[in-house]
Structure 1
Amino acid sequence: MLGKAISLATRFIPRTLLHRVGVAVGWCLAQVCRGHRYQDPIDGFGYRTLLPYGRMAQRRNALAPKSLSLERHRLIWLYLHRELDLANRPYRILHMAPEWALRKRLGHMENLRYTTADLNSPWAQVHCDIQALPFPDESFDLILCNHVLEHIPDDRLAMRELYRVLAPGGTAVLLVPIDENRADTLEDPAINTPKLRERYYHQRDHLRLYGRDYAERLQAAGFLVQVRDYAAELPPEIATKCALRAGEKLYLGHKGKFQQ
């Protein structure tokens, strides 16, 4: 019942309204789910169970309600801290369409110059179009752009803009929904209503469904692309404790060389 309610809310309630009410509702649900079986690495809160999540198909133990983190947010956080030493280095960060889970923690880290941006989000400091970012070239050492590009009319232009504002040696975390069974991205102008988009792209406001060629699109924008099955690289007990999703990959776009 709860999973169905979450599914309906995420499908039909405007995203900006969900942003405003989700934090308070999530905090209340977290008190009910408190325990020791799982732990959200972002805020350290422990759960006996996490909430189901999924607009079309429900995933068990996906949503940590206190931080509103999903599996991908927890995976990104572990990568940032274990691989990039985020807590100790003075990164300049651009966070597109900032998620509450990551924004709340990153915004309080004094070693970071942290900028949030989005067209409509109430959590964004800068309201702008990702297809025409209002930042100078090479402004950021780290970019977080998580499940954004599938919403953008000209995603290739957006990718080029992200590459433009990334500094040499910088990294962009560029996750999108991907159908691994598709070789090529599905993008058809005839799929032009919320009902059709939900049927073919799996969400009412998506403009395409990426296939395995996603990395090639990033490369065409200039990025050196690294695809990591990072959950599989972690000790199994950490992946289990943090309720990560098996097989969910990190797509990392680098400007310049990177270490394998």
Structure 2
Amino acid sequence: MKPRTLKFWSGSVKEHSKSAITLNSKGVLCPICSSRFSNFMNFGKPKRLNARCKNCGSLERHRLLHLFFQNELGSFTDNASNYKILHFAPEKFFYNYFSSIKGINYKPCDLTPNKYKWKGPVNVSKVDITNIPFESGYFDFILCNHVLEHVLDDALAMKELHRVLNKKGFAIIQVPIHPTLENTYEDRRITKPSERKIAFGQKDHVRWYGKDFKWRLEHVGFQVDVIDYSSQFTPEEKYKYGLLDSESIYLCKKSS
């Protein structure tokens, strides 16, 4: 993908264009690694059909974000001098992209950075999301994708993300949301991995987020735009790229 000048979010979604990627009449296409298959691998519990790329390992949420970055936000170039990006639990394909761009001040991080065995030009730093070691307003862009469901004090984590984001920047904060829950379900008395798996769907999750996730972000000061981006694609394109109707994008700015 040829880099383009960074464009800040304008608040409206453009009509989807297929100019960047040409569709085949058959099979699937990963927009991240450009691999083509008859279908994506099934993945998850319960199994989701057409979910995981056989080459780069991307899931539906990763491919949706990649398409959103490409079509709506533009890309990062040498003109974006010292543009500061904070990336929690860095996915390898997004890490490869961000870390390869000259002029970007890229900070990939995780509470347990040693689990990232792959090598790259930027080290993954140890950072506690509830105590981020950067000054207020430091970052221009924050990517936090499926992290908060692992964090006991998610309100404090959200406050920290809000604090370190600058007033002109934006953050994309994603979590798994239960399709039938109005309010987030959590119970700190549930501590055993086996019990958490039953209660929250995964042994290392500490809650199921409900439809109140937007309110929880707004409660710490974010202005939140919930973008149903998959609706910009036809049913054929959704299958082609392996996208979910249920995955929205939570794009956050500072409201104050």
Q: 1:81·1:87 contact (CA, 8 Å) conserved in 2?
A: no
8 Å CA contact 2:184–2:207 kept in 1: the answer is yes
Q: Deviations over 1:116-158 (max 9, x none)?
A: 0111133362111000001111111111101100101110000
Deviation at 1:111, TM superposition (A): 4.8
Distance 1:111-1:62 versus aligned 2 partners, 3 A rule: farther
Give the TM-score of the pair, scaled to structure 2.
0.81
Out of 59, 65, 68, the residue aligned to residue 54 of structure 2 is: 65
Residues 19-168 of structure 1 mapped to structure 2, 5 A cutoff: 37-54=27-44, 56-88=45-77, 90=80, 91-122=83-114, 123=116, 125-168=124-167
1:69 is paired with a residue of what secondary structure?
Answer: coil
- Aligned equivalents of 2:76, 2:31: Cα separation in 1: 14
Q: Which runs of 5+ in 1 are unaligned?
A: 1-35
How far apart are the structure 1 equivalents of 2:236 and 2:165?
34
Q: Which stretch shifts more, 101-110 or 148-157?
A: 101-110
CA RMSD between the two structures: 1.8
Structure with more of its chain in helix, by fraction:
1
Q: Is the 8 A contact 2:113 2:125 kept in 1?
A: no
Tell me the percent identity. Answer: 38
Aligned residues: 221
Alpha-carbon separation, structure 2, partners of 1:214 and 1:131: 18
What stretches of structure 2 of length at least 5 have no aligned partner? 1-25, 117-122
1:63 and 1:112 map into 2 onto residues whose CA distance is 29
> Structure 1 stretches (4+) deviating beyond 4 angstroms?
none
Distance 1:152 1:214, change over 3 A: same
Would you say the 8 A contact 2:50–2:239 is kept in 1?
A: no
Alpha-carbon contact 1:232-1:247 (below 8 Å) kept: no
Q: Tell which has more relative contact order, 1 or 2 (C-alpha 8 A, sep 6+).
A: 2
What is the CA distance between 1:40 and its match in structure 2?
A: 1.2
3-state SS of 1:153 partner? coil
Q: Offset of 1:236 from its aligned partner? A: 4.7
**Aligned in 2, Cα 1:110/1:170: closer, same or farther, shift over 3 Å?**
same
Aligned ranges 1:229-244 → 2 under 5 Å: 229-244=228-243
